[in-house]
Homo-oligomer: A and B are copies of this chain.
Amino acid sequence: MGHESRVTLADVAERAGVSVSTASLAFSGSGPVSEATRERVHAAAAALGYGGPDPRARSLRRGRSGIVGVVLEERVRSAFLDPVKIQMLDGITDGIAPLDAGLLLLTETIESSVGLDSAPVDAVVLIGCSPRLEESVDRLRRRGIPTVAIEGTPAPDIVTVGIDNRDATRRGAQHLRDLGHTRVQVVALPADPERTRGRFDADFAGSPLADTMTERLAGAREVFPGITGWYGRASSIEEGLEGGRRLLGDVDPDDRPTAIIAQSDLLAAGVIRAAEELGIRVPEDLSVLGFDGIRPDGLETDLTTLVQPSIEKGRAAGAAVVRMLAGEQPPNVDFTSVLHVGATTAPPGSPVE
C-alpha cells in the first residue's frame, strides 16, 4: 500500500469542500481562515493520511528551501575527527538557529562535486575550503547563493571569517625565542592540494592556495627567518607523529631542534608522541607549541598552544548567513587567538624538575 498516487493538497481541499488556496492557508497559517474551516481541513487531511505540504513544491514556490549547506573539504569521517571542525559546525548551528534551517553536509568530492550545485541550499558555508573549490565558488556566485568561507581565501561576493593566523603564530614563536630557543622547526598543515607530505626548506613559498598553512608559516618566519620543517597530509595525530619522527629521529642529536612549532594541536600531539618514542623529554629536551586550543584525544599534558575561538568562528559564519539571507551584506570577520602557556614549553636544555 502507498505507492499509488500520493495525496495532495488538492485532494484534501476537495474532501473538505474548500478551494485549494484555502486549504493551503489552513496549513501555512499565513492569511485569514475561519477556525471552523481550519478544523475541517485538518480533519480531511487526517482522514486522507495527508502528511502536510510537500517540501519540494513548497520550496520551489517560495524560493527558499530552509537548508544551509556546509562544505567540508575532506571526507566526512576525517572532518569529524578534527575537533576544530566540530566546534565550528556547532557554532554554525548556533548561528543559523534563527533560520531554523537544516544543515546539509556536503563534501568536496573529486571533480564535479555533484552535490554542491545540485543541492537545494539557500546558502553555503565553506569550512577550511581548499583551493580546488574555486570553480564551485564560482558556480555558487553565479547562482546567487550567499556564501561564507571560514578560513578561506577572500573573494568578491563572499564573506570570510578568519583568525590572525600569521600574527598569532608570530607571538607563539616569540614565546619560544624568549625562552631561548634558536633551533626551531615546523610541523605544518598540508601544503598542497594533492595532499602529499614532505620536508620543506627555507625557500619554500607555501602554496598560494593553502592559505592557513602559509600564513602560519609566515608568522613563524617573522621570528625565525630561515625556519624549515615538514608538512603533513592532514591535521592529525598520525601525521604529527610522522613529522616528529622525521624531524627528531633522522638527525644528529646535536642538530636536533629544541623546539617544534606545530600548526595544529593534533599535529602537536603527534610530535609529542614521537618524542616519547625517541626518548626525548617534553619540555626538558623539546618544547612543543600547538595551535587551536582543543584537547587532543589521549594527550594528558597541558599543551602550550594558540587558542582560537572555533565555536565563535562558526557562530559568526552562521550569523553572516542569516544576514545575507536578509538581504544585507555583512562584513568579513576576523578573530584573535591567544597564547596559552601550558606545560610543553620550557627553556632549551632545562633540567628535570
Contact = CB atoms under 8 A, between A and B. Distances in A.
How many copies are assembled? 2
A105 B106 contact: no
A119 B93 contact: no
Interface residues of A, number: 53
A106 B115 contact: no
A331 interface: no
A55 interface: yes
Nearest to A294: B297
Interface in A56-105: 56-60, 63, 65-67, 69, 75-77, 80-81, 86, 89-90, 93, 100-105
A216 to B, nearest CB: 25
Contacts of A3: 144
B49 A56 contact: no
Which residue among A89, A119, A295 has the maximum number of chain B CB atoms within 10 Å of its CB?
A: A119
Nearest to A107: B93
Q: Is the interface of A mostly helix, strand, loop or mixed?
A: mixed
B90 A114 contact: no
A4 to B, nearest CB: 10
Interface string A41-54: 00000000111111
A347 B71 CA distance: 50
A254 interface: no
A294 to B, nearest CB: 10
Nearest to A2: B144
Interface of A: 2-3, 6, 49-60, 63, 65-67, 69, 75-77, 80-81, 86, 89-90, 93, 100-107, 109, 114-115, 117-120, 139-140, 142-144, 295, 297-298, 300
27 contacts: A2-B144, A49-B142, A51-B139, A52-B117, A53-B118, A56-B59, A56-B60, A56-B63, A59-B120, A65-B120, A66-B115, A66-B119, A67-B119, A69-B102, A75-B93, A76-B103, A80-B80, A80-B89, A80-B90, A93-B105, A93-B107, A100-B109, A102-B104, A102-B106, A102-B115, A295-B297, A300-B300
